[in-house]
Amino acid sequence: MPLDLLLVSILRVLVEVAGFALLGQGVLALLAGKYRHQNIFYKVLQAVTAPVVKATRFVLPRFIIDAHVPLIAFFLLFWLWIVLAVAKRHLCGLHGLAC
């Protein structure tokens, strides 16, 4: 497997893990309600998604409230996943692989 294709695949998997963790955190927040911060699984998902949420908060302007940052982070990860899928398809075509 060529190195560029391997790096794109690794990045895509990392984006998938972060996206699914944000999705799981959102579902668990809906189920647990105001007691979500006492839930151990919510805390684990929050630890996994903390770097993504912090990076999104850093990029966003200050007038966007903190409660919306995880949702925006999820949509940014979704579009990054799409871009990486297109890049992977392009690289597979360049290397003559059927991916």
Predicted confidence (pLDDT) per residue in 34-88, tens digit: 999 999 999 999 999 999 999 999 999 999 999 999 999 999 999 999 999 999 9
Torsion of CA 54, 67, 30, 83, to 10 degrees: -50
Instruction: Say how far apart CA 73 and CA 92 lie, in whole Å.
Output: 28
Instruction: Say how far apart CA 8 and CA 18 lie, in whole Å.
Output: 15
Average confidence (pLDDT) over 10-20:
97
Tell me the CA end-to-end span of the chain in Å, nearest whole number. 11
Model confidence, pTM: 0.88
How far from chain centre, in Å, is Cα 46?
Answer: 12
Checking if the pLDDT of 1 tops 90, the result is: no
